[in-house]
Amino acid sequence: MNFFSTYKKHQKERLELDGEFYPKFVGEFWTSKQRQASSLHEISYRACFKAQLPKFFIEIFSKKGDVVYDPFSGRGTTVIEAALLERNVIANDVNPLSRILSFPRFYIPDTQEVENRLGAIPFEKNERADIDLSMFYHSKTESEIVGLKKYLKKRKRSGLEDDLDRWIRMVATNRLTGHSSGFFSVYTFPPNQAVAAERQKRINKKRKQKPEYRDTKKIILKKSKQLLRGVTEPEIGILRRMGEHAAFLTGDARTTKKIPSEHIQLTVTSPPFLDVVQYADDNWLRFWFNDINAGEVAKKVTMSKTLKDWAEVMFGVFAELFRITRKGGWVAFEVGEVKNGKIKLEEYVVPLGIKAGFECKGIVINQQQFTKTSNIWGIKNNSKGTNSNRIVLFTKT
């Protein structure tokens, strides 16, 4: 498919920068018009996009066997979707949680094996965490979480950790806190981050609640079945085959020396937007469970407070993307909107990509009609009644 001829009728606007004009393609290009995403994507993570977004660009700008890359991989939406479409994948993220949440989904377990492994994990009574978690968990639940944490740590240190252990770690990490009985914690909000302990105390007081016992093994098994409910046997085989050649890097997107020059056909990514999301703070409980040094992650995650600082970092990313992208390759760079839409990051990203050597082919603005308003974070859907994704398209000629 040639995007520019197929969607020519959607070219309704133009972006003017320094006397140059770049087409804007506006419409509803995915979500309601495409199949429901795989159940495998149902892993909570802050600021992640829907699987239909990378799928749209992967199908247009790559073919089977090509290498698809995401330098800010997060929960792994791009690489999981690319692998399902039989593309080779490379994922990178400075946050080591990204690999923990992504890699296990390439090696799909049998749920009976998950149940058997869970049953074999020893839990001692009255285990306690080395930090106060009483505002989140019933004492018996906390004991089970600590027991599971110790088991996984021991397996990894001894070199015995296998695909089943990694799967259980991923699911448990995802079930630490949330707003229903499907999570280990008392009611908290939302499931893609952990609020601070003091804030949880206030939530408990306001709701007049206290943590009830949650069966951690039962919850892990239930979530495993939910993740796998729509996954077919052929897809399991495809993911395993793609996983054998996949690379999961943990480092700065500006210096990915392990990726050869002119190796990538397509990059689909969404970078951290200024200091809108506090990735390190939001994941403090997940870090604790996985023995990750939160302070070290905080130093590495790009949380620029000014556009100037953010642009400097992103130019470094684009320079590296230009090195690793092959001629005829593409970059789909999702920039969203910040400051209630007052700042349109594509106006800053277009010059950065061009300076790095890319040619900007335009901006795709996907507008999805919404059915309910989500203002948990004080961010409401825009006045036109849509949720927007804004993606800048670059190519290397």
Tens digit of each residue's pLDDT (9 = 90 or more) over 125-160: 999 999 999 999 999 999 999 999 999 999 999 999
What is the structure's pLDDT at 23? 94
Q: Do 100 and 208 belong together in one domain?
A: no
Task: Kindly report, residue by residue over 150-204, the tens digit of the pLDDT.
Answer: 999 999 999 999 999 999 999 999 999 999 999 999 999 877 778 999 999 999 9
Q: Which one is predicted more confidently, 265 or 9?
A: 265
Question: What local confidence, expressed as pLDDT, does residue 260 receive?
Answer: 98
- Verify that 290 and 349 share a domain, yes or no: yes
Residue 106 pLDDT greater than 60, yes or no: yes
Closest CA to 325 of 347, 364, 363, 356: 356
Indicate the pLDDT class of residue 383, thresholds 50, 70 and 90: very low
Same domain (yes/no): 48, 193: no
Cβ-contact 332, 268 below 8 angstroms: yes
At 258, list the tokens.
Answer: 């392990």
| Residue 375 pLDDT > 60 | no
Same domain? For 156 and 241 the reply is no
Range in 12-26, 27-41, 172-186, 189-203 the model is least confident about: 27-41
**258 vs 246: CA distance, rounded Å:** 12
For 6-21, what is the mean pLDDT? Answer: 89
The stretch 5-20 carries a mean pLDDT of 89
- 252 and 326 co-located in one domain: yes
Please enumerate in sequence order all residues whose Cβ is within 8 A of that of 20, keeping only pairs 6 or more positions apart, or say none.
Answer: none
Round the average pLDDT of the chain to a whole number and report it: 90
User: Mean pLDDT over residues 111-125, rounded?
Assistant: 96
**What confidence score (pLDDT) does residue 303 get?**
62
Structure tokens at 98: 């990204």
Statement to judge: residues 256 and 378 lie in one domain: yes
286 and 352 co-located in one domain: yes
> Is the domain of 53 the same as that of 137?
no
Together in a domain, 146 and 68: no
Q: Which pLDDT score is estimated for 378?
A: 39
Which of 191, 210, 226 is the C-terminal boundary of a domain? 226
pLDDT higher than 90, residue 81: yes
pLDDT of residue 18: 87
Segment holding 150, helix H or strand E = helix 139-157
Q: In this structure, are 211 and 240 located in the same domain?
A: no
Give the total number of structural domains in the chain: 2
Domain boundary among 226, 250, 281: 226
Query: Of 226, 259, 291, which residue is a domain's last?
Result: 226
Q: How far apart are CA 236 and CA 240, in angstroms?
A: 6
Q: Which of 21, 313, 278, 77 has its CA nearest to residue 89?
A: 77
Domain harbouring 378, CATH code: 3.40.50.150
Q: Are 51 and 28 in contact (CB under 8 A)?
A: no
pLDDT in tens, 318-346: 999 999 999 999 999 998 766 666 778 89
pLDDT at 380: 43
User: What would the DSSP string read from start to end of 11-43?
Assistant: EEEEEEETTEEEEEEEE--SSTTSPPPPGGG--
Q: What is the DSSP letter of 284?
A: H
At residue 48 the predicted structure's pLDDT band, cuts being 50, 70 and 90, is confident
User: With 60 as the cut, is the pLDDT of residue 115 above it?
Assistant: yes
Does the structure show a pLDDT above 90 at 64? yes
Q: Residue 374 — very low, low, confident or very high, per pLDDT cuts 50/70/90?
A: very low
For residues 273 and 276, give the distance between their C-alpha atoms in angstroms, rounded to a whole number.
6
* C-alpha to C-alpha distance for 271 and 72, rounded to whole angstroms: 6
Residue 376: what pLDDT?
A: 38
- In the chain, the percentage of residues whose pLDDT exceeds 70 is 90
Q: Position 183: which residue type?
A: F
Domain of residue 277, residue span: 3-106+231-395
Q: At what angle do helices 77-84 and 233-243 cross, to 10 degrees?
A: 110
**Residues 6+ positions from 315 with CB-CB distance below 8 Å:** 352, 355, 356
What is the pLDDT at residue 191? Answer: 73
Nearest alpha carbon to residue 364 among 1, 4, 2: 4
Contact 361, 394 (CB under 8 A): yes
pLDDT at 282 over 70: yes
Structure tokens, 276:
């809108």
Residue 107 corresponds to which tokens in the numbers above? 């090696």
136 and 269, same domain (yes or no) = no
**120 and 49 share a domain?**
no
Residue 79 CB-density burial (10 A; 0-12 exposed, 13-18 middle, 19+ buried): buried
pLDDT computed for residue 382 by the predictor: 44
φ, ψ for residue 380, nearest 5 deg:
-100, 160
Cis before 272 (ω within 30): no
* pLDDT attached to residue 70: 98
- What is the rounded distance in angstroms from the CA atom of residue 384 to the CA atom of residue 303? 29
Give the length of the chain.
Answer: 397
